[in-house]
Amino acid sequence: MAPIAVGDTIPEGTLSYFDENDQLQQVSVHSLAAGKKVIIFGVPGAFTPTCSLKHVPGYVEKAEELKSKGVAEVICISVNDPFVMKAWAKTFPENKHVKFLADGSATYTHALGLELNLSDKGLGVRSRRFAILVEDLKVKAANIESGGEFTCSSADDVLKAL
């Protein structure tokens, strides 16, 4: 399956998270993105070095600037379960705007065409690192990394596309 690209409509899918009352919730991706400008960025794994030290912190730090440019939602997805995503989100106490959503079985990641098979490293199927800018369900920018690189999917890279 070809990776999601500029001009495509993002697929519908369901992701999981724990709400402020610590209740497990499911959310439709289309409900988060319909009629809005959103950023969906994906990482290979919670608590991994590049994801935790570079990728997520950039979005946490730039969230206000992204919002000032009309971005309604900043969504981080990873092929992890919602318990892991909740614990990982807590490691960013300064975060006010980035939503951490779980794609536990990589179903949504597969629908995007962005799965990364890391079975040879004992990690199973994960997500490629990426950032997509979506306006009313249509992809306006698709910054998709190769392998484990971190060269085009940062918050600064997305800001250039706004």
Catalytic residues: 51
- CB proximity list for 23: less than 8 A, separation 6 or greater: none
How is the beta sheet containing 37-43 ordered, strand by strand? 24-28, 14-18, 98-102, 73-78, 37-43, 130-135, 138-144
CA 123 to chain centre: 18
DSSP secondary structure of 37-63: EEEEEEES-TT-HHIIIIIHHHHHHHH
